[in-house]
Chains A and B, each alone.
Chain A
Amino acid sequence: MRTVWKNCITGLAAVALLVIAYLFAHAVVGNELLVPSFSDCMKGLGGLLISGGFWRAFFSTFLRVLCAFTISFGLAVVFAIVAYLLPIFARFFAPIVAVLRSVPTLAVLLIVLVWTGSGVAPVVVAFLTLFPTLYAGLYAALLGVDRGLAEMSRVYRVPLKRRVFSLYLPSIAPLALREGAAALGLALKLVASAEVLAGTYASLGGLMQEAKAYLDMPLLFALVCVTFLLGLALEALGNLAALAVERRAL
């Protein structure tokens, strides 16, 4: 319980520091157009939260994030298992993953935009970044499963289902959940950035683009704030799940 309080206080202190930094920047720049006042931003945020258009955009972006994450995580799980079972596939797949990791995703967005539309392109771009990261993390987690325990399970001819649920899943779950939590936060950043570039209609990125076009800086800051908070919440949820699994495991 004391740790929870400590974490809350540390978190609040960090938020307070950010607010102070913002107030400082506002005072130094002294230009309402470039850095609007904190109260204007809060008003912008309040206005957003009661607008129907915002919530439509919010859920449309959230859906894209979930879509990109689910496809990336699902495929990463399948490919990591195949790579774990067939080392030759892992060797074959390693350079492909390396290429995917070094692809400048936002540049690829322009190509994907031509092929698909502004609604799908952010999902593809997020997938291109998330998939190799998740695959590498899950594959490493599988390689980290205690070899001695795997060998013991083989000797005792433990049925596959029991091995999966009693050995492999508990071994990789904490790491997989932490990877997943980080990937969810990253997915939101990628999707929102891609939406800004693609000018996706009725999305958080689209609203940001619109706010920038009309130089509505309080609204722009409010949208960034919402995206930041959503990313934080997604990561926190994943980390809480990982913590729960770790506690159960120990």
Chain B
Amino acid sequence: MADKRYLDAIHDALHEEMARDERVIVLGEDVGRKGGVFGVTDGLFEAYGEDRVLDTPLAESMIIGVSVGMAANGLIPVPEIQFADFIHPAFDQIVSEVARMRYRSNNDYGCPMTIRVPYGGGVHGALYHSQSIEAFYAHVPGLKVVAPYSPADAKGLLKAAIRDHDPVLYLEHKKLYRMIHDQVPDGDVDVPIGRAAVRRPGRDLSIFAYGLMMHEALGAADLLARDGVEAEVVDLRTLRPLDTATILESVARTSRALIVHEDNRFGGFGAEVAATIAEEGFRHLDAPPTRVCGPDVPAVPFAPPLEQWFMPNAEKIAAAARTLVAY
């Protein structure tokens, strides 16, 4: 056990997996000598060399497309997309190639890779350094999508992703890199892909969140507790495959569901959670499944008052929770 920042936990998982298995390689923009623009891959270049820690040309489709071929020929690539905002040129490679390789070849080829994607707002990144992209990719069969909120989960889920037989989109929140630190076990951390976790039990409503918003949801639960409202906070962690059993069990206990994400609301990931609860947990509900999301503007605007207006936070979540409990 050691106290680690979120960023260090990701770094340690990469380091340990590269040491464990020489097939694991890291590639992306600035991941080598510089150690990544956020410092996540710092030291890997020195430890494993330029052939396994590859500074690529500035071309996202290339980063993913080359990873497809590497995976077909015996490597386990861990490509980094420098910012989620810049993943879009690789959409075709991820959706048409990575996600479909196993299905379209009838299991003749797999496509094991872990695509690391720093995402999220609240970092003064404006429209093109703040995006959440999970809705686009969680929609795609063949992909797995994870979004850890704690250092221990960040390490455990990254190791699980790298050891998975299938492609995993690993969403790491930029604001969490240096914002949080916590105890992280040395070596392996057992965090299976596909399991949500109840982080705080409660009886009055269930709040479902992931990534940075988990911290805001826990903050909201503290605020609500002062008013005597006991919120259960469920960390989804894996968006696909979604742990619907844990979600429905929680709703069965609380009868109220509040879903939180910073991505904008319309067609966002929360709609899938809400629909699942409505379809499969309707008999438990005392109120409509409700969402707290980023507003439906194209992306996070820059000026601090605008960014604060955009981002969901503990106060906004608590306010929505009070309305929901009073329904």
- Whether both chains belong to one complex is answered with no
